[in-house]
Amino acid sequence: MGTWGHGLYDNDTSLDVKDQFEEELHRGKTVEDITQLMINDYECNLDIPYEAFLFWGALADTQWNWGVLLPQVQQKALHWIQQLQENGTDLSAKQQKVLDDLHVKLLSPQPPVRKPRKRRLYQCKWQIGDVFAFRMEGEEAKKRNLYGRYFLIQKVSEDTWYPGHVIPIVYVKITKDEKLPTSLSEYNALEFVQTCFTRYENRFFPINMLDPQKDIAEKSKIHYEVDEYGFLPQYRASLITTSDKVIPSKLIYLGNFTQADPPKREFVPHVKVNIDSISWGKSGENFENRMIEKYCGHNLRELKIYSEKRGEEAP
């Protein structure tokens, strides 16, 4: 937990609690549902006195400010304030004032209930298996002799992007020339663009610290296949698509190839947040340049780490 002062919100925990509550409120969830969700999220911290105070104190203060303080949240916050004051905790004068002020505030009448503004959230309309062609036409493509070739983008999953947009997770392939595939077999024959890799020793991350042994035991049942460098290659990317306007108009829809072969030796991160995210940029310029960078770096093995690995294995 990062701390930079004595105020209630001068730390990461309280700020996260406040931000999460308000974000879920803007999404239209009820105060009761949000409270239970957050209790579940912070369960492992609620037996640690100061962490428990920061959670319940920030949650109670935030709910009070919105005029929606739940009695059980109020009671929990007052309980942990009292615990810190009575258990001989080494509190500075400034910390003691924070506790006193919050105690008084939580027992005072709440302000009128504030109505949250409902977020306008976008959901990408692509279906699982949809494939789109993106023609490379930028300066970097010219430099790398890729001009006129295509990246083929296939949606294979989806994720959420702040504050709740539903965005596609995709594979990206690259054509051998300026010709687009006209059949599933031609599509399968094309090369996947590798987006990243995970080191073998990090294959279990993130680990559930509530029960790490069980988590590792379950993940040990998965077959992890490394490449010739001992890495676990990744092929997925999250496309930051928050409106129809950011999707390049030059995309060509090729069809839905749900039966297409997946990449061989693919490592799929255990949490989606560990999948590389890429924004489109103006007319897809950022996407094009990032994917060229990944193709050259990983597929063509131009990243320094690959040459270093080769050097380590040299006799």
106, 121, 155 - which closes a domain: 106
Tally of domains within the chain: 2
Q: Which residues, 6 or more positions from 272, have their beta carbon under 8 angstroms from its beta carbon?
A: 157, 159, 169, 238
| Domain identity same for 278 and 167 | yes
Residue 3 domain-assigned (yes or no): no
Indicate whether 134 and 245 sit together in one domain: yes
Q: How confident is the model at residue 2 (pLDDT cuts 50, 70, 90)?
A: low
Structure tokens at 243: 């409106």
Domain membership of residue 120 (yes or no) is no
Out of 90, 106, 122, a domain closes at 106
Q: Is 85 exposed, middle or buried (0-12, 13-18, 19+ CB in 10 A)?
A: middle
Q: What is the pLDDT of residue 89?
A: 60
The string over 289-314, giving b where at least 16 C-beta atoms fall within 10 Å of a residue's C-beta and e elsewhere, is bbbbebbbbbeeeeeeebeebeeeee
**Are 199 and 77 contained in the same domain?**
no
Nearest to 285 by CA among 141, 76, 109, 122: 141
Section 297-301 average pLDDT: 97
- The residue range of the domain holding 81 is 12-106
pLDDT at 23: 86
Same domain membership, residue 138 and residue 98: no
Residue 6 in any domain: the answer is: no
Q: Which residues contact 123 (CB under 8 A, 6 or more apart)?
A: 165, 166
Q: What is the spatial distance between Cα 131 and Cα 257, in angstroms, rounded to a whole number?
A: 7
Do 187 and 275 share a structural domain?
yes
SS3 of residue 240 by DSSP: strand
My answer on whether 97 and 207 are in the same domain is no
Higher pLDDT, 164 or 244: 244
Kindly state whether residue 124 falls inside one of the protein's structural domains: no
How many residues in the chain?
315
Residues 156 and 30 in one domain: no
Residue at which a domain ends, from 106, 122, 138: 106
Whether 117 is in a domain gets the answer: no
Residues 305 and 243 in one domain: yes
Residue 1 forms part of a structural domain? no
Q: Which amino acid is at 143?
A: K
Q: Could you tell me if 102 and 137 lie in one domain? A: no
What percentage of the chain reaches a pLDDT higher than 90?
Answer: 73
Q: What is the pTM of this model?
A: 0.68
Tell whether 136 and 67 lie within a shared domain: no
Is pLDDT at 120 greater than 90 in this prediction? no
User: According to the model, what pLDDT value does residue 233 have?
Assistant: 97
